[in-house]
Structure 1
Amino acid sequence: MSSEFTNGQALKGKTGLRRILNATSYSLAGLKAAFVGEAAFRQLLLLNVLLIPAAFLLDVSRAERAVMIAVVFLAPIVELLNSAIEAAIDRISYELHPLSKRAKDMGSAAQFMALSLIALVWASIIL
């Protein structure tokens, strides 16, 4: 067995610029899949479309504006991860199982916390 195979490199695929191009393609495919297949992701993008320009209209410091925008970006990121967890669980089985429920509930809880963070940050800066 070659040392390349034993260290896992053979399973990684391409390297260098080809790897970066492939990774970009996979990322864009993931964004498209989320946009097409996940209503929550589309809703969060709408929230971004509304709140990011609003952050520029408010009389806040640049640091505050950056934090306001960063937390808004966090929600779609968490939704991508939550949707990935749900897809993996559903791929394994549609059967109801306590561990599947726990994984999905934790993903949902992460999204709840991300949305709560948006509300907390925006309220503390604006009020």
Structure 2
Amino acid sequence: MTNPYKGVTGFRRIWNACGYSFEGLVAAYRGEAAFRQLVWMAVVLIPVALILPVSSISRALLIGSVLLSLIIELLNSAIEAAIDRISLDTHPLSKASKDMSSAAQMLGLVLLAVVWSLVLMDSF
């Protein structure tokens, strides 16, 4: 069986995918306060990472940890949206799913803090 929504190939498919990704970023920014906060954190931290006197590897770790946190928040928000789309009723599996995706974001933020702390301690 073929999926009727998978008919576009080549450059057009890449172009469409970029559009869908941009729409996803806009939806997350508009609808998720946590994502907005992380975007503004990234707006501050990424330029700081670019001007700090650190090695290229350290700079990549600093920026990567910030971007990873944004990625995790997008996935967390997507999971929550899918669960809410299925049902707004309270269910143990829904709660577990939302709690686990939230825990992933917490670990991502811990990673961000650890990476930034270690790089900064090593640099100064």
TM-score by length of 1: 0.90
Match status 1:43 vs 2:33: no
> Which of 2, 5, 10 is 1:16 aligned to?
10
TM-score by length of 2: 0.92
Q: What is the percentage of aligned positions where both structures have the same residue?
A: 57
Match status 1:25 vs 2:31: no
Task: Tell me which structure has the larger Cα radius of gyration.
Answer: 1
Give the whole-Å Cα distance in 1 for the aligned partners of 2:3 and 2:49: 44
Partner amino acid for 2:14?
A: I
Where does residue 122 of structure 1 map in the other structure?
A: 116
Partner amino acid for 2:90?
A: L
Where does residue 3 of structure 1 map in the other structure?
A: none
Show structure 1 runs of 4+ deviating over 3 A: 8-11
Match status 1:63 vs 2:66: no
User: CA offset at residue 120 of structure 1?
Assistant: 0.5
Give the whole-Å Cα distance in 1 for the aligned partners of 2:15 and 2:5: 17
CA RMSD of aligned residues (A): 1.2
Give the whole-Å Cα distance in 1 for the aligned partners of 2:20 and 2:50: 32
What secondary structure does 1:110 align onto? helix
Aligned residue pairs total 121
Cα deviation per residue 1:4-56 (whole Å; 9 max; x = unaligned)? xx3x3545231111211111111111011001111111100111011111112
Match status 1:104 vs 2:68: no
Structure 2: any 5+ residue segments left out of the alignment? none
Larger RCO, structure (CA 8 Å, separation 6 or more): 2
